Amino acid sequence: MTALRLIHGSAALVAAAALAVTFWSGIHERGVGLAFGVLIAVGELTRWSGAQVRQAAPLGTAGSLSYALLGADAGQPTQHDAPQVVTIVLAASLLGGVPHIWCGRSPTLDHLARRVLTVGFAAVCFQPLYNKGVFTQWSGPAYAVLLVALLVLTALCDAVLAAALAHSRTRWPFGPLLRDELRGLLGIGSAVCATGAVMALAVAVAGLWALPVFCLPLLLTQLSVRRYAAVRATYRQTIASLARATEIAGYTPAGHARRVAALSLAVGRDLGLTEAELTVLEYAALMHDIGQLSLVDPVPAGATAALPAQEQRRIALLGGAVVRQTGVDAAVAVVVERQADPCREQPLAARIVRAVNAYEEKAREAGSDGPLRALEELRLATAGDYAPEVVESLARVLSRDCLTLPVAG
């Protein structure tokens, strides 16, 4: 938790210093500050809540970055400094979060810490130099490139902060987390940076009237992404419901698919899978036993790991055929079909599902000493049945997160 405390402490120090300097020197150009403060507060009011999303308040973030890189208003140079930027952004973010706090959805400290540090970084890189006239000779495309370059550096800073915070809270490997954050910059992150740069340039030429004009496209983008996220959530719920068919029919114990999916995701993250690969892995793990629905006589306790290899492959192929009929991504069906193939011929996701499924079944059957005994059996079988790197990753996950099998039901 050292990184978590360091980031929160740094954000608190930056905020306190900015507030002290602003109270001492006063607020310059209050109309401009008020306009950007309202924009940021509106962005916080419309922020997503109740779901894990990479950019919860894109409008608020774009407005904050735009104010940090603002050098002029309708052709007149601005006089505000970096502490004022941090103060107004922090106050507006807190004000916009009041309705969320009232509804029990308070903005997280991580969100505020990232906002303060990233905006402070952008403002410190730009405002002192601009106020000293360093950028006087920069105009036209060169000035726009300068703003974009600063925003790219700020986005990289934010990605590092986000990965560090996630690593501190989840103890997942930092490298894959950072890679996912950097990949996320190509999505709505790039739209946020572009909007921030465009608004700063537009206000410098046209004045504050440019704010509502240029924030509208980002609002529409936010609405579209939110609808897409809702569809994805519904899609996952449908797959989870379909996966429960084997439990309802009595082919597998209650909660088996959910436990395998949760542990498979943890192993996948430990091995550095991307978000897209983790999604395929989760869906395949949820439906890995769907082929048992075609069996006339259920396998005792749904434990397919102890069946002959030929029977395991037959069930896996039947499961893949069922998955293909549901319209799920073909990559999910491939993982389900190949989970019983020889280990060295399997894709990584299939190796993970196979090892985790076997662990869950063996641990459930072995009683109180099940987890340790099951893991030892998997290690002894790494010569042919299970991938050694997957088994060792599973051991790390179990050791790091102290995972145990929940009671079935």
Q: Which helix (H) or strand (E) holds 73?
A: strand 72-73
Q: Rounded CA gap, 353 and 338, in Å? A: 10
- For residue 10, the model assigns a pLDDT of 94
Examine the pLDDT at 51 and tell me if it is beyond 50.
no
Given a contact cutoff of 8 angstroms between Cβ atoms, the answer to whether 314 and 343 are in contact is no
Q: What are phi and psi of 71, to 5 degrees?
A: -115, -15
Looking at domain 244-401, which of 3.30.930.10, 1.10.10.60, 1.10.10.10, 1.10.3210.10 is its CATH number?
1.10.3210.10
In sequence order, which residues have a C-beta less than 8 Å from that of residue 180 and are 6 or more positions away?
Answer: 163, 274, 275
Examine the pLDDT at 192 and tell me if it is beyond 70.
yes
Token pair belonging to 55? 């950019």
Question: 260-305 pLDDT, tens per residue?
Answer: 999 999 999 888 888 889 999 999 999 988 888 877 677 776 677 7
Examine the pLDDT at 315 and tell me if it is beyond 50.
yes
Q: Rounded CA gap, 257 and 178, in Å? A: 29
Question: 154-186 pLDDT, tens per residue?
Answer: 999 999 999 999 888 887 888 888 888 888 788
Given a contact cutoff of 8 angstroms between Cβ atoms, the answer to whether 320 and 334 are in contact is yes
Token pair belonging to 349? 């996701």
Question: 211-246 pLDDT, tens per residue?
Answer: 998 888 888 877 887 888 788 888 888 888 888 888
Q: Rounded CA gap, 335 and 303, in Å? A: 19
- For residue 69, the model assigns a pLDDT of 94
In sequence order, which residues have a C-beta less than 8 Å from that of residue 30 and are 6 or more positions away?
Answer: none
- For residue 222, the model assigns a pLDDT of 79
Q: Which of 246, 16, 29, 24 is nearest to 131 (CA)?
A: 29
Q: Rounded CA gap, 53 and 48, in Å? A: 8
- DSSP tag of 332: H
- For residue 236, the model assigns a pLDDT of 85
Angstrom distances, CA of residue 21 to CA of 12, 46, 110: 14, 30, 24
- For residue 340, the model assigns a pLDDT of 85
Q: Which of 124-128, 270-274, 381-385 has the lowest mean pLDDT?
A: 381-385
Given a contact cutoff of 8 angstroms between Cβ atoms, the answer to whether 92 and 44 are in contact is yes
More confident site: 272 or 124: 124
Q: Rounded CA gap, 209 and 126, in Å? A: 23
SS3 349: helix
- DSSP tag of 347: -
